[in-house]
Amino acid sequence: MLQPILHYGIHIFLPLLIAVLFFKKTWKLAYIIMALAIIIDLDHLLANPLFDPTRCSINFHPLHSYYAIGVYVLLCLPKKTRVIGLGLIIHMIADQVDCWMM
């Protein structure tokens, strides 16, 4: 019961907190961009079976691989891509928390 609350709480409230604290002038846009990082879950459509509640997404799906996470970290460095990178890293944090709670 706690797992989905924590998972979706991270997806929704952590980007909001970061947007409000660090992107004061453009917090709404920053929040929307970070929240939309959930779109990388489209790579789950490549899995067989499509849904497995015992599967950890991290390093299983292509856009959740360690290599992809490295790219997301690099996206956080330039100012122009920082919000996108943060959104993707927050997404990975939410998925990693899921893995820990399995």
Span 47-79, pLDDT tens digits: 999 889 899 999 999 999 999 999 999 999 999
Task: State the pLDDT at residue 50.
Answer: 87
Q: What is the pTM of this model?
A: 0.94
Task: State the pLDDT at residue 102.
Answer: 84
| Nearest partner of 99 among 38, 56, 43, 68, judged by Cα | 56
To the nearest whole percent, how much of the chain has pLDDT over 70? Answer: 100
Q: Taking 80 as the threshold, does the pLDDT of residue 1 lie above it?
A: no
